[in-house]
Amino acid sequence: MIRLATAVALLAALTGCASQATGQPAGTRAAKPVAPELTATLDTPTDITLSWSGGPAESTSTIVEFATEPDGRYTILDFVTAGQHRYKHPDLIPRTPFYYRVTPVLGPVSSPVEVKLPAATTYRAARASADIGSVRSGAGTPTEVAARSIGTDGVRVSWTDNATDEDGYLLEIKPANQAQYRVAGFIDPNSTVTDLTTLPSERVAAYRIRAFYRGAPSNLAHQTTGAD
């Protein structure tokens, strides 16, 4: 499992990897995916703010990416919550073109499990009723999710992989004093276990695993930075 702060290289490998499967019965026409509309504003010569609207209502978070060429290798900056529609990219290299896109995150999520450190107690979620199959059709939900403490600051989360076409898994966390889940880490496709080193605010928290796939990406938004 890769914590978001160190995940840039591996996360970028997902670019353009979404499956073409539609989950529609034979002979039906798939609805056109709803893509966000993105703009980029140069606030200062080296600070850019992104803003977007639209996208599928069922999206749970949004991937924010950039590149320095329109057809270049895109690097993931962050996973932001579905309700967030602005992102600031500060302190950039002067006199450099930057291209951006945002992509909705879709896919089924497991039941949550709770861990209280440092107790090494395992909490097991109830098994969900999920078929092995495409996460794009709503099947493939992770099941048999379990979490336990490891050492004084670590948590190990395991699950049953029921998906056949996921772009990866997301570890989502909700500390005891917060109201919403957020993405804490990215896990490769076909994985069944991940470890997380907790922050001080995460010692009592609920965890869940999402089998995710990329939705339709936004348009490309472009700005070129000025002099430092």
Reply yes or no on whether the pLDDT at 12 is more than 80.
Answer: no
DSSP codes joined into one string, the chain: -EEGGG-HHHHHTTTT-------PPTT-PPPPP---EEEEEEEETTEEEEEEE---TT--EEEEEEESSTTS--EEEEEEETT--EEEE-SPPTT-EEEEEEEEEE--BPPPEEEETT----EEPPPP---SB-GGGT----EEEEEEEETTTEEEEEEE--BSS-SEEEEEEEETT-SS-EEEEEE-TT--EEEEEPPGGGSEEEEEEEEEEE------EEEE----
Q: What is the pLDDT of residues 82-132, one digit of tens each?
A: 899 999 999 999 999 999 999 999 999 999 998 888 644 455 555 555 557
The least confident of 1-10, 16-25, 49-58 is 16-25
Mean pLDDT score across all residues of the chain:
84
pLDDT of residue 50: 98
pLDDT tens, 141-162? 999 999 988 888 899 999 999 9
Please tell me the predicted confidence (pLDDT) of residue 3: 59
Domains identified in the chain and CATH numbers: 2-17+36-107+215-224 (2.60.40.10), 113-213 (2.60.40.10)
Is this model's pTM higher than 0.75 or not? Answer: yes
